[in-house]
Amino acid sequence: MRSIPVALGERAYEVVIGPGARRSLAAVLPAGVRKVAVVRPEGLEADVDPGVESELVHLPDGEGVKVLSTVESLCRRFAAAGLARTDAAVAVGGGVISDVVGFAASVYLRGIAYVNVPTTLLAQVDAAIGGKTGVNLPEGKNLVGTFWQPAAVLCDTELLETLPPREWASGRGEMAKYAFLAPAGEQPSPASLLGMTLEEQVAWCVAIKASVVAADEREGDRRMVLNYGHTLAHALEADALAEGRADDLRHGEAVAVGLVFAARLARRLGRIGDERVELHRRVVAGFDLPTELPDASAAQLVAYMGRDKKARHDLTFVLDGPAGVEPVRGVDPGDVLATLAEMGARP
């Protein structure tokens, strides 16, 4: 079992990684918790024992629950269960569950504790860590949310054993991202990362995210690098959601395409050369992920990008460059459209 700290002063917590990590739940609940609401998707089999009185709350599975009405419903369930400000919620599931439960916990009684027990690879390496919560609007993904750190995160690798192939692909999309965010001189090759044990892979990604979050908790600047590949990814997801095709594209698959796009855009802006672009393509392909843009309108994608949560009334991207991956503001929409066209997007 491994434990990686997220060093945030009085909001610091541990990410416990390994088989059976969920069995540490009772030990990581804050002192004084007498009642817990355990929230998980319908049909998910993941036994957790908080060691105190608990109320089980089921949510439908899928991106469709990431809406404000779900947050209201959860808060009402917390109230009906009699949760006090000293009690806690436990999110058992993927990134969607940690997002909505974390958001509800942050606003119920102006904030109660919550613990994440992520059950997908994507959630274990990324979504469950760092305290960003949020829900979608018809205008775009994650446009409403809060920063609310969990009391602990329990990454039980036993829970990943029955994941379907596309859920593995979704998590590996985030792993591919972290291959480019490692400190200089520590970046693993795709082969070495894939050659690690599952526990080592998860720990590698968690350690990078924990260090970035500790340096920039509220996404003032440095934390924005965690959105590498996500500006296009979120646009693709928003486009699929608007067209009723949300299940056609997993988040990690969208991120994989977004990484290749970001590299091509960085090349167009003169930040990197052909070899670095090819490295992005090889890393993504090495994780058996898509590298090509799905059918989409370039103009519509750019419109969604303008609503991205990183936007400052301009087009902001996280791009590779001489100093590594960093935020780049004020990108010319013409360069974005040209790069999308290069990748086969419709006008």
Active site residues: 110, 132, 174, 209, 219, 223, 227, 230, 234, 251
Find residue 16's DSSP bridge partners: 3, 154
Q: How far apart are CA 41 and CA 309, in angstroms?
A: 26
Q: How far apart are CA 26 and CA 178, in angstroms?
A: 31
Q: How far apart are CA 291 and CA 49, in angstroms?
A: 41
Give CB contacts under 8 A, 24+ apart, made by 216-219.
217/8, 217/11, 217/131, 217/147, 217/149, 218/147, 219/132, 219/310
* DSSP state letters, 105-120: HHHGGG--EEEEEE-S
Structure tokens at 44: 């998910």
Radius of gyration, CA atoms only, the chain: 19
Q: How far apart are CA 47 and CA 55, in angstroms?
A: 13
Q: Which amino acid is residue 240, in one-letter code?
A: A
Q: How far apart are CA 271 and CA 15, in angstroms?
A: 35
